[in-house]
Structure 1
Amino acid sequence: MRIATWAFQGETQSGVVRDDAVHPFADGLTARQVVESGDAASVGTLPGVPLAEVRLLAPLQPASFRDFVAFEEHVEGVRRAVDGRGGVPEAWYDAPTFYFTNPHTLTGPDVDVAFPASSVARDFELEVAAIVGPSGIFGYTIFNDWSARDLQSREMQVNLGPAKGKDFAGSLGPWIVTADELAPYLDGDGFLALECTAAVNGAEIGRDLLSNMGWTFETMLAYAARDSRVVAGDVLGSGTVGNGGCLAELWGRSGKQEPPPLRDGDVVTLTVQGIGSLTNRVTSAPPAAALPPVRPPKGRP
């Protein structure tokens, strides 16, 4: 089952995508409410509207979004590009590390994504996101973790982050595919063997299998919930796939920015087998006001 959220005739609706049409959930239920129930099959739907007549939005608005870094190849390449150090930190092998990204700046497919005006090292990240249900993984969608690499590199020198290098935007879509639909792609170790590709202006940049990730989504969910709380409707990002899942990985390996950073007008398309495609165009936000200078702590020269 494919579950989407869309805008149509001035209203936002959620429902099921079936036969090139969208069928709203009965009683005006949202995608998140259905995810929280854990049983989409039992929810009634209304007559359909042609998919071509609606504007797809992010499939749901999560309360929290943990983005993992589950691909060793990605860590190795990006680490060199962002902080100049090679190799994979030993701590990466201990547990599936994640950071919290901003759920309030998530966009859907086919909308412009505005990078900070000051950023010139603009990048995409090809990921798969798992939607948490009441008793495990409810379904999956595509996630583009847009990255301003120059801002990210600077702020992570403080040994925190990423922050402003990431939180300006993230794209989810085009819809949620329920876990049962993707079960045929599971390999013998419980990983989803989905082919993932990234293209800029129609030219393929990267290609990898989702099953090359170091941990399953179930393991990442269990780790996220350890000594903490995860609720239905939360989202877990896989982290960026390897073999060109982002530009910075390729920059780190070659020592030069080739392919070049994203520019205004560039169109990025991420495609994942069994789920679909997510396309967005790059633009720039208005310039931000300058920060006031830092005030030294009192009592220090």
Structure 2
Amino acid sequence: MKRLLRVACWAVALLPALSSGRDIYVNNLAGDDRLSGLNQELSGDHGPVASICRALKIAAAGDHVIVANTGELYREQLSVFGCNLRGYEDRPLTISGNGATLDGTVMAADGSWRHVDGDVFAMSPRRLTFQQLFKAGSPLARVRVASATDADQALQPLQWAMTQNEILLRVDRGRLPEQYELRHAGMQTGITLYNTRHVVVEDFVVQGFQQDGVNAHTLVNDCVLRRIECRANGRSGLSVGGASRVLVEESGFYDNGRAQVRVEGHAKLTLDGCELDDDQDAAPYLLQRGDLTIDGERLQSR
């Protein structure tokens, strides 16, 4: 069965482009997932869908998913894999975000925050290995502390830290965590690419995911990320693994937890015209085997 599936996928990939591909529209304010997605405006059963996930279920090889930047965050995680979600050399499957933000944060349950000491409060999220804390859609500054007992001295108001089993936050004097619009990383990965080829993802902000903003897991070939801003994700902005081949153009990676980008296995990642944040808390890149080239310079493991 697995062999038949592989043969079917290769057959789809090798088919000539018989049409120009469809445009599939997404609008998280005006759209409805019961619509066809084939019209930008509502007309009978046709009109934009509300979620990018629904658009990807509709999409076929070589289609163009067009996401409206409504100013409202898209709180979903995307998976691009399989026979249909791929493109052709001359007509890639394209997902255009138009500057929209893909957000992986969630709110803490009522009563999650408990008082520790002074102005410091603690909360234990469901996913703790990698984390980020946001206020009103923007990441808060993280400070490294040895233990919870150090937090009151080490943290300034609205700075946070993480111990082995909880998030620590110092609030303004006289306030409670519930009085802020706080969210933390909840969904695992913003965009997962797996077993696909000839895919272009462009013009997105990807933030607040617990693991990676974008993860090219394995068997990803001839894929391009263009004008993507991956910020404040728990582990990395971009992770490329397996035997994947990914090109990233004119993109930025900031404030991610462990590394801005990471490469492992036999993967090959090429960055052209990209910005990588370099601070004391997170390396600009983490190269665990694989191949990383930045603006024409091939780098070694660090």
Greater helix proportion: 1
Shorter-chain TM-score tier: under 0.3
Q: Which has the higher contact order (CA 8 A, sep 6+)?
A: 1
Please say which structure displays the higher CA radius of gyration: 2
Greater strand proportion: 2
TM score, norm. by length of structure 2? 0.25
